[in-house]
Structure 1
Amino acid sequence: MGEWLFDLGNTRLKYAPLDADGCVGGVCAVAHDGIAFADDAWDALPSHIRTAHVASVASPALRDALLQVLQARGAAVKLAATQVECDGLRIAYADPTRLGVDRFLALLGAHARGGAWLVAGVGTALTLDLLDDAGGHRGGRIAPSPALMRDALQMRARQLPAQGGDYREFAGDTLDALASGCTGAALGLIERSLREAVTLFGSTPGLLLHGGGAAALLPHLPAVVHAPSLVLEGLARQALARRL
């Protein structure tokens, strides 16, 4: 397995081998603090890597630290970038540099699954992107994720905890009310986007959910498809497209 896929986000790195058939192999995840990786972060990596396909939305310092490790293992590094068209996907942005590479790759992974999708990524931000069944990106939305909402509230009001509480439709205490309000805001935006997609398409698209904060939303979205490795799936598609 000489080719590897790396998805470097704001809180963790996910990586996996690219199998001979073009599929994503077993996924590993390593957390970071936004500044540096732990000393044992690379223990699971092989000593030699032929090619490393890297997508990064993290700081330049973290990205450079990853690239140094990969190059020390002999890897030819190929950085992912958003493209106007790739593997049948056409993005809605006139300027591809304005669409984050993580959103682009998630769309690419969604398109490879076939059909129309609303792609929801729950990380530092909540991102929503609508994809039709012909591979046309119809645009999207960006909002704070539930975790970021909680952090922002605590910054302004220290007495409001940034974590804890359970989702309830009408909470009877502050901790549950915080969890319910922030999670509910994300759910409401997803649900509205699905309704508007029905108006546009005439039918309901599938809902794909990915990202580190997806777990809190999954129980409240019964028709959702959880795709925790969706960005890596898209990175694999871009890697294959580069060979053609």
Structure 2
Amino acid sequence: MATWLFDLGNTRLKCAPLAADGGIGEVVALPHREGEVAAQLRQFLPARFDLACVASVSGSALTAQVLATLAAHCPRISVARTQSTFAGLRIAYAQPRKLGVDRFLALLAARRRGGAALVCGVGTAITVDLLDADGRHLGGRIAPSPTLMREALNLRAPHLPVLGGEYHEFAADTEDALASGCDGAAIALIGHSLAAARKQLGTSPALYLHGGGGEVLLAQLPMASWAPTLVLEGLAIWARGAGATAVGADTIRPC
């Protein structure tokens, strides 16, 4: 059965086929704009496949547009939902629906990689989640990403640019100061979380960084592993672990 995986975020749609070994095939990343995503998908999707597994943290209108496009290509679509326990992972939230599905799937992937982990996603928000070596999610943090910080500053002070600048410990112009301050806030949050995780666990967890804004932080976080496909990896685990037919999934059968 041919299965495709779709990770719909706030700025990009990542897609990959589920490989025969249970991993993910070649990943395609599409910066999406409402009204254009259908045409972009049609350019590379096969005419027909059997199952689409979708994880979305995007708005309902864009999600509906993606689902409608996929319905023209496959007879079954399963939308992933956060579950309290799955594949050896136990999340900390008493109400699973409050934990974003992207965080849930990234934790699944970290659990499969083994050992304790601090999983950090950098997109519209920064999310930080701690996982112990036994698969227990110990909770996390959410904060604005550097991109969102700069956009918010620009809204209140339009002379402060949204883009530009490079990271310096002490910057000598406005663009660099903005990049240094906003990136530095994210770096400090992740660094503080890693130190707190070491203290709580009694050992140093692996640090995984993913999301569209994560790569720029790597130079200041040399201990981090860059894991850009972590959510898709988790979606692959969910798909082959009966998640696509579980109570936690919404299954759509197009006519």
Length-normalised TM-score, structure 2? 0.93
User: Which amino acid counterpart does residue 62 of structure 2 have in structure 1?
Assistant: L
Residue 161 of structure 2 aligns with which residue?
161
Aligned to 1:25: 25
Aligned partner of 2:104 in structure 1 is: 104
Measured in 1, the distance between the counterparts of 2:98 and 2:8 equals: 18
Q: Is the 8 A contact 1:34 1:59 kept in 2?
A: no
Percent of matched pairs sharing the same residue = 56
Q: 1:49 maps to which residue?
A: 49
Question: Which sits farther off after the overlay, 234-243 or 52-61?
Answer: 234-243
Distance in 2 separating the partners of 1:47 and 1:25: 18
Q: Which runs of 4+ in 1 moved over 6 A?
A: none
Contact 2:167 2:177 in 1 (8 A): yes
> Could you report, residue by residue, the CA deviation over 1:69-108 in whole angstroms, capped at 9, with x for unpaired residues?
1111123101100000000000000000100000000000
Distance change >3 Å, CA 94–CA 32, structure 1 → 2:
same
1:24-82 CA deviation, whole Å, 9 max, x = no partner?
A: 11000111135652633420110001000100011111111111111111231011000
Supply the distance in 2 between the matched residues of 1:210 and 1:114 (Cα, whole angstroms).
17
Paired residue secondary structure (1:126): strand
Q: Any stretches of 5+ residues in structure 2 without a counterpart?
A: 246-255
Contact kept? 2:8, 2:14, Cα under 8 Å: yes
**What amino acid is the match of 2:194?**
L
Task: Give the Cα–Cα distance (whole angstroms) in 2 for the partners of residues 2 and 70 of structure 1.
Answer: 14
Partner deviation per Cα, 1:140-196 (whole Å, 9 max, x = no partner): 000000000000000000000001000000011111000000000000000000010
Alignment check: 8 A CA contact 1:5 1:52 kept: yes
Paired position in structure 1 for 2:12: 12
Contact 1:115 1:133 in 2 (8 A): yes
Amino acid at match of 2:61: A
Q: What SS does the aligned partner of 1:127 have?
A: strand
Counterpart residue number, 1:178: 178
Matched, 1:3 2:28: no
Residues 1:116 and 1:196: Cα distance change in structure 2 (over 3 Å): same
1:90-135 CA deviation, whole Å, 9 max, x = no partner? 0000000100000000000110100111000000000000000100
Distance 2:115 2:44 in 1: 35
CA–CA distance in 1 between the matches of 2:219 and 2:74?
A: 43
Give the gaps of 5 or more residues in structure 1: none
Q: Would the alpha carbon gap of residues 72 and 14 (structure 1) be closer, same or farther in structure 2, given more than 3 Å must change?
A: same
